[in-house]
């Protein structure tokens, strides 16, 4: 590669996601002497990207679009951007940028590509013949796109790592396991629990596959049993996602007094300090950053025994694992921690120690920078 060109271009499908999951990496890369540019669709967060001193380019990239002509325009737009900027390395984040961006990078002869697959996503969760065909198409695309030289793929959990190898999408030389996006343990700090009634928080986008309905049903069951606790959904709706929970349904649950809906919050350290238990009954994840943040804040966790979630929780140590898509085991696990404050506090202390030892943002950033160095030196 030409030493004079040290431009790294990040391509992400949402500016907010870049800020929450990749900003520390971009800043660290800039501090290492790389030029850094970020390409996302327009939206909240663009001004903050610019305020961080990063170059920014807008791309047309719909997260849920299925119009073939619009999708072809997206690929063409990425190709033109790569030909114009001529980056030495493009770092694609999430499935659609990975698929479209890797194709555009091949056509534009971008020297090196890093693909971050945060989780295998909705197409690998959905049931039915159409979803099976979509999975087959994605896997076939991966096999061809990932066959190029100077390409690395980052996955966040052992299940996705093994699956992509088993499906013949990658060789071991091209796949990297980096467990999550890391957590700033100086920003997310451990605070004592409040003396208020136990508060159980589900912090996530309001999507059905995050286990929102199971959480609400578990809260309903516990209220019927007379368990004294509060239950809060903390997160915004995502109308572009086919799994989005309607705002009307959320409002109705809150009106009935089953759960509280706090909406999207930017002050998550405060939210965690108010919570006594963090719950994420998701169907599948890459490695949920919110669980790393909860652990860093010293909170016990109840989550599902599925890819991604079980990377963060060791059963009985820093939390409890329950089956996905089932409200009764979820209610039982929550009651166990609601009724036993000493147990959940001990789990919280172990969660904090685990976050410091295994999931620090500094470790995650260094692993990424090592891949960049190999890409530029190859």
How many angstroms separate the CA atoms of 202 and 114, rounded? Answer: 32
Residue 338 resides in a domain: yes
User: 178 and 260 share a domain?
Assistant: no
Q: Where are the beta strands (DSSP E) in the chain?
A: 7-12, 35-40, 55-58, 89-93, 112-117, 151-155, 175-177, 199-203, 230-234, 260-263, 277-280, 300-304, 319-322
Residue 193 resides in a domain: no
What is the arrangement of strands in the sheet containing 199-203, beginning at the earlier edge strand? Answer: 260-263, 230-234, 199-203, 277-280, 300-304, 319-322
What per-residue confidence (pLDDT) applies to 31? 96
What per-residue confidence (pLDDT) applies to 281? 98
What per-residue confidence (pLDDT) applies to 3? 37
Please, which contacts does 40-46 make with residues 24 or more away whose CB atoms are closer than 8 Å?
A: 40/11, 40/12, 40/13, 40/14, 40/15, 41/13, 41/14, 41/15, 42/15, 43/14, 43/15, 43/16, 44/15, 44/16, 45/14, 45/15, 45/16, 45/18, 45/19, 46/15
Residue 2 resides in a domain: no
What CATH number has the domain bearing residue 278?
3.40.50.2000
User: 92 and 207 share a domain?
Assistant: no
Residue 1 resides in a domain: no
Q: How many residues in the chain?
A: 378
| Contact by Cβ (8 Å): 372, 114 | yes
| 35, β-bridge pairs | 7
pLDDT under 50: residue ranges of the chain: 1-4
- Number of domains present in the structure of the chain: 2
What per-residue confidence (pLDDT) applies to 32? 96
What per-residue confidence (pLDDT) applies to 1? 39
How many angstroms separate the CA atoms of 318 and 200, rounded? Answer: 16
User: 211 and 339 share a domain?
Assistant: yes
Residue 194 resides in a domain: no
User: 335 and 373 share a domain?
Assistant: no
Cβ count near 218 (within 10 Å): 30
User: 76 and 118 share a domain?
Assistant: yes
User: 253 and 165 share a domain?
Assistant: no
What per-residue confidence (pLDDT) applies to 135? 73
Residue-wise over 172-183: b if at least 16 C-beta within 10 A, else e?
Answer: eebbbebbbbbb
Residues 99/290/260/338 CA torsion (nearest 10 deg): 140
Determine the angle formed by the axes of helices 327-338 and 212-224, rounding to 10 degrees.
60
| Contact by Cβ (8 Å): 207, 244 | yes
What per-residue confidence (pLDDT) applies to 17? 92
User: 120 and 174 share a domain?
Assistant: yes
User: 350 and 235 share a domain?
Assistant: yes
| Contact by Cβ (8 Å): 139, 169 | yes
User: 122 and 63 share a domain?
Assistant: yes
User: 167 and 56 share a domain?
Assistant: yes
Give the residue numbers spanning the domain of 272: 199-358
Residue 301 resides in a domain: yes
Residue 99 resides in a domain: yes
Residue 192 resides in a domain: no
User: pTM, whole model, 2 decimals?
Assistant: 0.86
Q: Which two tokens stand for residue 79?
A: 């190709």
What per-residue confidence (pLDDT) applies to 133? 78
Question: DSSP state, 216?
Answer: H
User: 348 and 214 share a domain?
Assistant: yes
Q: Which two tokens stand for residue 13?
A: 């499908």
User: 324 and 207 share a domain?
Assistant: yes
What per-residue confidence (pLDDT) applies to 310? 94
């Amino acid at each position: 590669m030409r030493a004079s060109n040290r431009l790294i271009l990040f391509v992400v499908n949402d500016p907010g996601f870049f800020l929450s999951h990749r900003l520390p990496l971009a800043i660290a890369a800039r501090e290492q002497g790389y030029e850094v540019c970020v390409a996302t669709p327009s939206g909240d967060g663009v001004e903050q990207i610019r305020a961080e001193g990063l170059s920014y380019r807008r791309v047309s990239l719909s997260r849920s679009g299925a119009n073939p002509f619009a999708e072809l325009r997206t690929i063409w737009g990425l190709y033109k951007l790569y030909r114009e900027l001529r980056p030495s390395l493009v770092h694609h984040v999430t499935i659609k940028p990975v698929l479209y961006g890797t194709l555009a990078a091949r056509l534009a002869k971008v020297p090196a590509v890093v693909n971050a697959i945060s989780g295998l996503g909705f197409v690998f969760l959905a049931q039915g013949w159409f979803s099976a065909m979509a999975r087959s198409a994605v896997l076939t695309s991966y096999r061809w796109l990932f066959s190029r030289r100077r390409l690395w793929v980052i996955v966040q959990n052992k299940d996705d790592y093994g699956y992509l190898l088993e499906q013949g999408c990658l060789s071991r030389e091209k796949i990297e396991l980096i467990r999550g996006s890391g957590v700033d343990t100086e920003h997310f700090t451990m605070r004592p629990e409040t003396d208020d009634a136990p508060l159980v928080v589900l912090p996530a986008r309001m999507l059905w596959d995050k286990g929102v309905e199971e959480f609400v049903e578990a809260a309903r069951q516990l209220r019927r049993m007379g368990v004294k606790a509060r239950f809060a959904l903390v997160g915004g709706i995502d109308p572009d996602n086919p799994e989005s929970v309607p705002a009307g349904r959320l409002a109705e649950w809150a009106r009935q007094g089953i759960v509280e809906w706090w909406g999207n919050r930017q002050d998550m350290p405060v939210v965690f300090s108010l919570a006594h238990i963090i719950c994420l009954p998701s169907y599948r994840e890459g490695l949920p950053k919110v669980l790393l943040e909860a652990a860093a804040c010293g909170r016990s966790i109840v989550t599902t025994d599925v890819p991604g979630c079980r990377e963060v929780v060791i059963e009985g140590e820093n939390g409890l694992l329950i089956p996905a898509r089932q409200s009764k085991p979820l209610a039982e696990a929550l009651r166990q921690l609601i009724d036993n404050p000493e147990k959940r506090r001990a789990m919280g202390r172990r969660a904090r120690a685990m976050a410091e030892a295994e999931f620090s943002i500094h470790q995650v950033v260094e692993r990424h920078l090592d891949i960049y160095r190999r890409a530029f030196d190859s």
